[in-house]
Structure 1
Amino acid sequence: MFFVNTGFSQTPKTLDSLFSVLKNAKEDTAKAQLLLKIGNLFEKNSSDSAIYFYHQSIDISKKLKLNEATKLLYANALTALSLVYVNYKRQFDSSFVNAEKAITIYKTLINSNDKHVVIESKLGISNCYYSFGHMYDQQGIYDLALTNYKKTLNLNEELGEKKSMFTIFTKIGVVNWYQGNFEQAIQNLLKALKIAEENSDKKSMAICYINIGNVHYNQKSYDYAIENYLKASKIFDDIKDKRGISISYNNIGAIYSDQKDYEKAIIYFQKSLKIKEELNDKKGISACYINIGVIFKEKRNFNSALEYYKKSLIIEEELGNKTGIISAWNSLSDAYFIIADSINYNKLEKYNYYKESIKYAENSFRLANEINSLSLKLKSVDILYRAYKKIGQTVKALEYTEIFIATNDSMFTEEKTKAIAEMESKYQNEKKQKEIELLEKDKVLQTEEIAKQTLLRNSFIIGFLLIFSLAFIILISYRQKRKANKLLLLKNFEIEQKKEEIQSQANLLQATNNELEKLSVIARETDNSVIIADSSGHIEWVNEGFTKLFGYKLEEFIAEKGDNLRKATSNSNFETYFQNMISEKKSVNYISNTVNKFDNEIWVQTYLWPILDQLDEISKIVIIETDITKIKNAEEKATELYKIAEYQKLQITDSINYSKIIQSSILPSISEIKKSFPEIFIIYKPKDVVSGDFYYYAELGDYKIIATVDCTGHGVPGAFMSMIGYDILNHIIFVQGIVRPAEILTRLHKGIRFAFSKENNIVNNGMDLSICSINPDKKELLYAGAFNEIYIVNEKNNSPVLNLCEKFIENNKFILSELLSDKISIGGDYEDVKFTEKKLTFSENDTIYMFSDGFVDQFGGKKKRKYMSKRLKEFLLNIQDIDMESQEFALNNEFESWKGNEEQTDDVLLVGIKFTSKDESFKLELSAEDILYIQPFLIELQNITIYNTGKVLNVLKSIVNESETLKKWKEAVEKAIYVFNEAEYKRLIEIENKNIS
């Protein structure tokens, strides 16, 4: 798809300021000018609003007292209205009428004595001609489109309007392409690119790369095409231009489709379609439908192919886009033809499909003739010839064969001239230099005179001679082909029997084009260094770029270095490169470091090109050298910065990893929790190395206290919050002796606010959590939550919690109830808050689930949406018949499957506990030997405040697990921890308070 910017309007002020000024404006002239500017602002996002304000401006302008200023204002409003009709509404009649009125007014003003009025009038006329050209362009009337575009171009060149000239060169280049005039298309697109580069206009440069890539694509030069598309895509991505990105995706998909890599093709087409649907780009959507239809056709899914082709046709007919209608008809015709070819037994059905193919192809042929599009006409004629031949109508088939050959011959001559321009475009892309201006050609000599003078000319003229000689070969080949085609017609469609002969001619032409590519380099004067040498490496000619780069004139260089490059070069590997080029007869390139005449160090990229004669022997060598010193210096600087960044990254990573060790040390041991709740699992997945979610467990008296906490943020900030929250919870439970969840939350809220307060200004830090205090002996559960609910699952005949719940779901066997939390965050804006506590009695085999929001907020699935709590509830309900270890595996698998290749959204924490009979083996008695082993630890505990007891226990457990010398004490220490948490708790407080050894 070709890409062109439209419109010439200037950037207006903000809406608010314009409406404010309009409201206070007293003069009608000022009001008309402001309405015109407001309309201009609305054009791209709301064309109907723009039309309304333009009409308002016109109505006021018509009533003003006539003078040059008011006439100019009136004409400008008419022009703006014309442009919005043609650019956004496709209402061609309305556009034409308004532009015609405007031109009549402008022409009365171009002889004014006021220079400003003259310039503005000429700009206005230019915009009107553009409106006419764009109108004819969209209707496929290309001759009239070109006529008006060229009028616009002439006026803009006179006025020095570079931005407008870029648009017109691009428009003309695209129309040239539609007409099959590839040489002119490339010339005009290169002119547009030069303007874009001079103005450092990234978007316009990307547009040019897209259009130049399209010309390469249509000539099946896929490497050059994709190179240009990727350049465009990178720029569009940098400037966040969605429409441009979608076009790049579409075009890359087309290349993969042509290369039969359909899986990659469909991915890029669907990416493009998604963006175009977001932008409501109907023309772009239609193009994607055609491309996706082609993929289905190639994969023999004809029903889907026809569906997409017809969807495209509907859009193109709505738009009145003749070129698009022809493409859709051709696609439908081609699909019906292939369907007919695939039917082997039902002759009537086969015939009907061929007739359907002919119907669409004839429609396409008629309309392509009407708009004079050779390339589209050729496609329809090819199908018509083959379809009529299949159904036995040989007279019709012969008629369309003649048309096919005539059309193909017409395009053939232009393809040759385009080939030279294409190779030049490749050269400029590989070098990443500015467009190189062609030298003015010497006066053309007669062929006979050139043959007599060849040996007397320098290598530069030799290049041109070879070009003309090869052109003569092309002409002879072309005439032979044309003669062969006519003979084939007389022999009643023997084209298929001559395929090998035609292919041989095509191969010869391709080889000739390859030589033309290399010789075209000689016909240029460039900022790069160009050297021409004979096959042995003796220098025959250099350009001015050589002197600029190295500081030597040819005579100076030969006097100092010698005339043979193989000896004069400072690159020690040059001989190897040279011999590779000679043996392979292919170009080679390399990068080297050298010094110029003034002892300045420079980096140079060198290309060695062999020029082959008709006997396929090397006659000349062309050496192109480009100064890449700035690039290499930038690379070295980038490498240095990269090393610094890597070192800093390593330091940060080490710090974060150490934070993980610290954070892990405070988390309670799962094995310890399992002593009270054997049937438990904890799914804990930090988004980063460290987490803002954490789980908490403590035992005090008859209560087991467990919580799941979600702190503000994730990563390092979240981890910092989690450590503060953990310490405050320890203090509330172990020092203050609080076990009631609601009271714990209230005190935690105050503690967080105090921890982050500074001069009474509360920082926006906090946490959401659910907390349960469980008395296993009484089968009692106390719950409170701050923006964090919990779920409890019972068998349907045993659901005592329903009266506490506002939400529940069920299946045949189980019911899942949701205990709702208070909608208050810990550490929030309110100073004094109270939390609601809920109490329930649980039964054996009841299960509770506590969690943060990370699981349900994860993006994934086919539609890249959040998992959501409803899906989690249903999943939990469906896994109740399996044990908790299997549930943990199932939930992990469900999360990873849903996430797929998506990035993890947040920290994930999910705890499940099934209530079972208390494990009596957990009640341990201490032996005298146990007490002997425990004693050193109790003495150590004496010197640590009870505020940090929870930390001590965890560190103690870590030491036991890690230290070889303490492993024999493991059982005894575990018993000690149990006793410490239960019976010995109060006694140790007393010991600490009395400071008894």
Structure 2
Amino acid sequence: MAFKIHLLGAYAALSPRLFLGLWIFLLLSFPDYAQKKISSQKDSLERLIKTLPNDSNKVKTLHQLGHIYTKSSDFKQAIQVGKTALKLSQHIQFIRGIYQSHFEIGTNERFLEKHSQSIEHLSKAIHYFEHNNQPTMWGKSLRELGINYAQQGDNVQALKVFLKALKIFEKNGSPNDVGNMLIAIGVIHSRQKDLPQAIHYYKKALSIYISTKTKIRQAVCYINLGNAYNKQGLSDSALIYCHKALTLNRELDNAHATAITLTNIGAIYISKKQYPQAIQYNLESLQILDSLGVTGKTIPLMRLGEAYAGLKEFDKSIDFLKKAEKIARKNKQRPNLVMILQKLANSEEQVGNYQIALQYHKQYKQYQDSLFNEKNTKKITQLAAEYRFSKERDSLKFAQQKQRVALKAQINTGKAEQKTTYIGLGLTLLLLITLGIFYRFKQRNHRRLFIANERLAHANGLLQEQNAEISAQHDAIEAQNTQLFLANHQINQSIRAAKVIQSAVLPFEERLQKHFQEYFVLFRPRDIVSGDFYWVSQIEDQVVLVTADCTGHGVPGAFMSLISLMMLNQIVKTKKITAPQQILTQLQQDTLQALKCEKNPTPGGLDAAVVSIQPSSSAETSLTVNFAGAKRPLWFLTPDQSNIQELKGSRISIGVIYRQPRYFTQHALELEKGTLLYLGSDGLEDQHNQKNEKFGTQNLLTLLLQNRQISLAQQQPIIENALLQHMQEESQRDDILLMGIRL
């Protein structure tokens, strides 16, 4: 599936993330696929699926059908098909099919803005594709994860993921994959108002799409360039680019992309105050989105509200804005909600609903980040001074008016001219005193304001010095980060090479299938390479199986596991030692000698479980099983038993020197065919959850007993899902290995 990007920039013109509910769909369709052809393919695939057996080919065909539904904008049906493919893949143990299904489901969940579900599925796909040498699908899964973050307004996390995907695609992807990521990165720069950088990335992507003759992506570049030019105030240039995009999308019969382009053109007309045209384009966009069943209609609804407000039709404006508010709250679109609340406050105020307007304004302020800077400080100081001066001026006017009323009253009572003169002189003196007091008060305020301004200027100088120092520190940190990134990249490359080597020495599927008709291997390294390993070999009629847990994990554990595998090959294949007790004893001697433990006590070692299986001499329906363990047990469940039995290993770790001699104990059993054997490392039982609780041996044994009636292939995903539910957000603490075989 092509990368589904990038009208992100087109709607980023409208807000920091307004467009993100729709921007990815554009690249979903291809110019070679008209709607009739898509419908014909869908019918053919549905008929074919009904005839196929439940195998990997049916899973792949289901994925093809899901792609057709996605191209037709039927995301819900695409998700249902993906879940069917996932269930079938788990049933037949088609591992790649399982994680490809997670990718398909996560992609379509994102189209419906179900971000938490989408991120959960994509995270599983990313983990698998990264650790199984599938860089293209790894890059695509990262791309979809980044889109989720971008749609939720997390620009920093989105850019981090996009840059990682770009590096992968530049090395392993197609030109179109690279172009898609260039647009996504350009959009993030556009959000940060770095328009020249955004235009640079858009034009690089456009040159790629022109060279590959990919019209659908050319349309995306045109509309993103139109957005950038509109932000720069070049609305006429913006309209030229957007109409180029509209022409291409209509030519390609891409309804979803056409709707997005119409909304973007409507936004440009709003900036030009040509509201009727804006309404016309946004209504047409809304009509298309309704016909497609798209729920993310926040942007055209908000733009309709804005356009009607421009025409002074505030009732219609409020109606559309409230619809947009409901969707934004439901989908937790914080940046969209900030703008919608501000516009609702303005429209409610215009119709006289001051209380409602005040509530919207308060909510807007709660979401809106603000900075207290020097300009705000000066304005507050100025407003305070104006307020005090106005209050003093009004008090003086009141005193003068009171004096005039008193004087008029005295004249009206017929008092003598002399008394009137005295009163006039007294009032005059009082006025002079008042003016003197006011003058002194005003001078004092001027001095205070002067001192305050001096302090603010000094503080501003200090802030500028601190900003310069912070900037220098930031540059130094960026340089260190670059060095750390390069060093980490080199280390990871070396470790991945080690993983290839380690994978090569572990038993392949063909070897396990040769010795066991039914089995499962739950193998989850904590890091790229593992300290846990499993080994199998056959000498004459005996099959020897070993599971081991080396000291440590990651690179140290992996080195110890490679040393141990070489020793096992020497002990069993060369020396023909098949008794589990003798294998562990010889392995103990070789390990102490190889690691020079006498000079350097316990530098490393391992715990292990060893089983040998051979036909029984007493009955054809049973097998002879010999077991010896180094601190690791063997669990078994016969067909006629209701409880799991446990054979404990000896309390000896290989590679450890003990004061008193210790010897391994061997157990011999005659077990019926069909008996289940389980052995492995302690990583699963010791895994903690967020409450610091272990998964526990008893919990594992209960889980195995509950699922005894189903096949081992079906047991593995149940055990793994139980582990993931136990861990939740907790990281894996140790390598995990569990093997199950049926005799």
TM-score, scaled relative to structure 1: 0.35
TM-score after normalising by structure 2: 0.47
Tell me which of the two structures has the higher relative contact order, counting C-alpha pairs closer than 8 angstroms and 6 or more residues apart: 2
